[in-house]
Structure 1
Amino acid sequence: MKKLTPVFTISFFIALAFIIWGFFAPENLEFITGTIQGFITDQFGWFYLLVATGFVAFAIFLIFSPYGRIKLGKDDEEPEYNYLTWFSFLFTAGMGIGLVFWGVAEPVYHLFDPSPAANVAGGSIEAAGAALRYSFFHWGMHPWAIYSVVALTLAYFKFRKGAPGVVSAAFQPLLGDRVNGGIGTTINVIVVFATVFGVATSLGFGTAQIGGGLSDIFGFNNTFFLQLMIIIVVTFFYMLSSQTGLNVGIRILSKTNIYLASILMLFLLFSGPTNFIMNSFTQTFGSYLQNLVSMSFQLDTFNLESSWVEGWTIFYWAWWIAWAPFVGTFIARVSRGRTIREFIIGVIAVPTVFGALWFSVFGGTAIHLETITGVSVMEVITEAGEESALFFVLQQFNFGWIMAIVAIFLIASFFITSADSATFVLGMQTTNGSLNPPNNVKLIWGLIQSATAAVLLYSGGLAALQTAAIIAAFPFVIIMIFMIISLMKSLKQETLPEKKKLRKSKNN
């Protein structure tokens, strides 16, 4: 515990106070956080839309700018991990649990309650295209651009400038030595706060869905007690994994996640309506690109009866921003040696296409059941919750119960890997950027994460999880804006590598 910093101490006691508050006064916690969340979404929804789209524009600018040739490290460094391992890290840390949880449920929700801008009747076949398009939108370029801004900035200052691997170090060009004082500590405490609650949100979703799967397959009641037992068991496994380090536990589990997710997706692709799925993917991806700009700036300004954007798009942008310090730090840690252009294309393009295919397979199958086969997935969601939707869809096909068990293992594996990765990141941020934080520090943060997820489920279920994500994201989005300013100030002082030299180093 020699490497503990003021960031650890302050963050620990803030998190502990929240857990105690939620345990002894859950209704008060739910009321106050709900009030704060309502204020943020009502008054600052426009702000979330503008900054998220601004991050996409900034990432595209870097791809085509001369800065894209700069390496995240020394000019002669090569990437630490191959593409398969790197992409498995991105997929696992970025949104693994969320994809499994919302892959069926979100498109079905949009089918019956479409965006007012889509101008289609809910439940109609015409609403299917809009349902998938908005799912692509919420899980596509915007979230990965948000991640890339944080990850790129941290990787650049850590591996090229030799700065500590904490977020405050990225402010050196703007603040100078003041980053080592109270301002830097405040920045890093906000980062830890956003990470704890952002990750707890996903862990809560994962817990609820594992409970839903056990309920569907084995008949258990998906109560808070069952969810608490799931959290305890999974916490044991991810704490065990966290003791093995990045290159053992997380690396093995990340590849396992990719294999299990691929098995699940291929099963449904070929057991389900294959032609409908691939047609949906092709047409909707084009529609997504065509309507990207209009969707990016859509609000419910002229439809006072609707709160669709606040409930979906703004929640998602806040969720991704809350996840950005965790995912960004983790992606930065595994991206040493890549050029800025290669990094941004890899972080944005590959996961966007994979996510679109995922929603086409799972959401497309659910929509086909609803609109063509006549099997009601929405009825299951209404009666049993979003967490049961995936298992219901899988069991409509031969060997579906086997795939449902595979899905439970996949969710648990994502849970373990996400929590393991988060303990690693929290350990880094609270030990002045140590690339291999002490195991006892990771143990403490692992327990805090699980306790926070349990308290949120206890105080308000999935609604409380969404509320926590939106609140945690608000202060960090300000930090992200200044991270871009600091990065650009430093990039302008770079001596850009020549194309020939860079090409020669790759060939060698």
Structure 2
Amino acid sequence: MKPPLTELPIRVADSGFYRGFAKDVAVTAKVIVGALILWAIAFPEHAAAILGAFNAFILASFNYWYVYVTAFFFLLCVGLALLPASGRLKLGREGDRPEFSNFSWFSMMFGAGIGVGMLTFATAEPMYHFAKNPSTIMGLTEGSTAGNVREAYVWSFTHWGIAAWSAYAIVGLALAYFCYRRGLPLTIRSALTPLFGRAMSGPLGHAVDIFAVVATVLGVSQTLGFGSEQFVSGLWRIGVGDWLYTVAADGTKSTSAMGIVVSLAVIMGLSTLSALSGVGKGIKWLSNLNMVLSLFLLLFFVALGSTWFGLTTLFVGVFDYLASMPGNLFAVWVEDGTETGDALAAWQRGWTIFYWAWWIAFAPFVGLFLARISKGRTVREFVLGAIIIPAFMCFVWFAIVGGTAIDLELSGVAQGAIAEAGQADQLFAMLGVILNGPLAYLLSIVVVVLLLTFLVTTADSAVLIINTIAAAGDEGPKSRPHIVFWGTALALVVGGLIMAGGLGAIQMAMVIGALPFSLVMVLMGLALIKAIWRDSLRMRQGLVASEVVLTAAE
């Protein structure tokens, strides 16, 4: 058998401003992102119209694609973990041991992966599906009633469950495998070498890494957009000032331009400082702080929330989710000219397809970050840590926190205070219902701090990962101007797109950017299958690949 490819030379600049960077990737990605920023800020109406047209086309034409590729990622990850031949393979050399403790490993993975979105959607999503979901559209259940709680959690768990986390895992697993077992650079293109070989050193590889950088910028911008609005809501709740919002003539309240600027300045300023300190210091410390504050907040809801209702919802919801997974994982609704069919298709585009695009757009960032912190772990351990445990944590949060909100509305205690609040404000509204006066104020401060640390962790991790991709997988220290550039660029992308068309504009851009990278991810999965199969044949013959011995972990 031919030995596997263990060297992938990527040309990087050896002097000047871009020393250590692959200029083709770094410069092109900066030009694309810079053009998007200028377009959104200089021509907001034109940008919103074009993005809207492309977004509608993709959601209508590629709905099958997004559903089926997500199912493929899930089945592949589970299969590789369950098969003994692949599950016990170590992501590294035989003597490699994990760099981080299990607690720090999981904290960094969770904080970078979805901590911000969880704070926003743990309350908002169950509440939305409690009012409307496919069952209410088809007339099987009635919205905002006790009979609709189970259906609300089927879809909440579907969008945040093991299939969703598989998008992160497939990228992280492929990169860790080829970097730590083959000795290839820790960058996206390395995962495609079994299919394209040394061609990944040239323009084809540059294109793959550019797609990854652009998808990362748009995916992280979506998360920062949601998080910054909730951060502004929290600041308003703790009395920072009414200038954070503007009120339209019809009474509609929206985040002011100054509120957006201040929130992004705080978030990106702190994240840039953290990124300059590296993974082992700022990001690790912030991630551990995130986990401690998250557990504190969760314990608060266990102690003072609707605990029995939440626990019942958790166990019943997990059962319903697992039972419905085979159908929901492959279900695609298309417009058929009927009121019900068109409504189902519109609902799926707005929720499931949007979520699968969001997870895919976030995958190059989180996947590479997972690979970066997972050296020395087995394939089975990686899949368990990157899929099962985070998904279960999301289930617990959604059941306890979201379940408390639903129970307060069902019992009449909330009297619509939670349901009528905006998405970004529902968590704070619920705290106001549960607590009174100073206690509600103090806990709101805790949530604001937790939200800020989650946002900073997400943003600084993204900046480091973008620079790692642009530097051909070099994880070493990066020039400060490049870190500052990407921190500023993320802030401007979020601010520019919000001003062009609100969070909807970020969502449109993210769905568009996720499409080409979804194809890259499918190819990564196929390449991983090929590599593991051929390496298993080499193991039987006692062959080695360069310095990395192809043996299973003990």
Question: TM-score normalised to the size of structure 2?
Answer: 0.88
1:265 aligns with 2:286: no
Question: Is the contact made by 2:73 and 2:166 (CA closer than 8 Å) also made in structure 1?
Answer: yes
Please give the per-residue CA displacement for 1:409-456, whole angstroms capped at 9, x wherever unaligned: 111101100000000100100011011240422221111111111111
> 1:105 pairs with 113, 124, 127, which one?
124
Question: Is the contact made by 1:381 and 1:388 (CA closer than 8 Å) also made in structure 2?
Answer: no
Between 296-305 and 467-476, report the one with greater CA deviation.
296-305
* Alignment-derived partner of residue 417 in structure 1: 457
Q: CA RMSD in A?
A: 1.9
Please give the per-residue CA displacement for 1:112-153, whole angstroms capped at 9, x wherever unaligned: 112236821111111111112211110111121111100000
Gaps of 5+ in 2: 1-17, 246-254, 541-548
* Alignment-derived partner of residue 323 in structure 1: 362
> 1:478 pairs with 508, 513, 519, which one?
519
Question: Is the contact made by 1:224 and 1:457 (CA closer than 8 Å) also made in structure 2?
Answer: no
Please give the per-residue CA displacement for 1:361-400, whole angstroms capped at 9, x wherever unaligned: 11101110111234245x6565x52111110001212322
Change (3 A) 1:50 1:118: farther
Please give the per-residue CA displacement for 1:284-331, whole angstroms capped at 9, x wherever unaligned: 111111111111122333612331111111100000000000000000
Question: Is the contact made by 1:243 and 1:439 (CA closer than 8 Å) also made in structure 2?
Answer: no
Q: Give the 5 Å matches for 1:137-152.
A: 137-152=158-173
Shift of 1:504: 11
Q: Between Structure 1 and Structure 2, which shows a larger proportion of helix residues? A: 1
Amino acid at match of 1:38: A
* Alignment-derived partner of residue 257 in structure 2: 224
1:460 aligns with 2:460: no
Q: Give the 5 Å matches for 1:245-284.
A: 245-284=278-317
Q: Extract structure 1 runs of 4+ deviating beyond 3 A.
A: 379-382, 495-498, 501-506
* Alignment-derived partner of residue 386 in structure 2: 347
Measure, in 2, the Cα distance between the counterparts of 1:505 and 1:476.
Answer: 32
Shift of 1:154: 0.5
Change (3 A) 1:236 1:118: farther
Please give the per-residue CA displacement for 1:149-175, whole angstroms capped at 9, x wherever unaligned: 000000111111010111111121211
Task: Provide the aligned length of Structure 1 versus Structure 2.
Answer: 502
Shift of 1:228: 1.0
Amino acid at match of 2:141: V
Amino acid at match of 1:195: T
Amino acid at match of 1:422: A
Please give the per-residue CA displacement for 1:194-252, whole angstroms capped at 9, x wherever unaligned: 00010011111111101111223315223121121110122111111111111000000
* Alignment-derived partner of residue 431 in structure 1: 471
Change (3 A) 1:146 1:407: same
Question: Is the contact made by 1:245 and 1:436 (CA closer than 8 Å) also made in structure 2?
Answer: no
Using the aligned pairs only, state the percent identity: 34
Question: Is the contact made by 1:169 and 1:179 (CA closer than 8 Å) also made in structure 2?
Answer: yes
Please give the per-residue CA displacement for 1:169-192, whole angstroms capped at 9, x wherever unaligned: 112121121111110111110000
Shift of 1:457: 1.3
Question: Is the contact made by 1:242 and 1:439 (CA closer than 8 Å) also made in structure 2?
Answer: no
Amino acid at match of 2:98: P
* Alignment-derived partner of residue 431 in structure 2: 394
> 1:304 pairs with 332, 335, 342, which one?
342
1:490 aligns with 2:528: no
Change (3 A) 1:84 1:304: same
Larger Rg: 2
* Alignment-derived partner of residue 12 in structure 2: none
* Alignment-derived partner of residue 115 in structure 1: 134
Question: TM-score normalised to the size of structure 1?
Answer: 0.95
Gaps of 5+ in 1: none
Question: Is the contact made by 1:277 and 1:360 (CA closer than 8 Å) also made in structure 2?
Answer: yes
